[in-house]
Amino acid sequence: MKGFGSRAAGIAFAMLGAAAAAQEQESGRVGSGAPEDFFMEITRGEDGTPVLSPDQFTLALGGYYRFNVVCPEDLTSETGYHFEATELLENAHIRVLSVGETDIEFYMQGLTFRAIECDAAGSARFSFHPMRPGVYPIEVRDQGVPPKEAFGRIVVE
């Protein structure tokens, strides 16, 4: 929990900055320069169901984005979360996948991956260009039997 308050404030500030920068992305034009960051925090509700905050994003076709999946709680392989956005990943040009607050990066250059799992507090992110307009579902489930699920979506215009 040490430093969580400043991390949460940083996430909130980045989310506000990303909302303002979202207007700069132009639909149909492939973005360049640094990607625009947006964040999804996954926590556990009182009933144990995953909670996504926020649970919807609107992006410009061809824009350049970095999706940050944040798991701020202490987790284990039995209590962690499984994040999937399969249809988005199938309709996007993936650039870079990175893990945590370190300098570990995977340069994808068009390749894809299937899912992100949080088995500890931390984050993972991927940068991409959405290449087809549409509404793409996000699914997050825990490791329970049966799993508890939460859903979100990404709208590409």
pLDDT of residue 28: 64
pLDDT of residue 151: 98
Distances in whole angstroms, Cα of residue 66 to Cα of each of 45, 75, 143, 146, 148: 26, 24, 26, 31, 26
Domain range list for the chain:
4-156
pLDDT of residue 110: 63
Across the chain, which has 157 residues, the per-10-residue mean pLDDT values are 44 44 62 87 94 97 95 88 95 90 74 85 93 97 93 98
As a whole number of angstroms, the distance between CA 135 and CA 91 comes to 11
Decide if 142 contacts 81 (C-beta within 8 A).
Answer: yes
pLDDT of residue 107: 82
pLDDT of residue 112: 73
Domain 4-156 has CATH 2.60.40.420: yes
pLDDT of residue 74: 87
pLDDT of residue 77: 82
Decide if 26 contacts 57 (C-beta within 8 A).
Answer: no
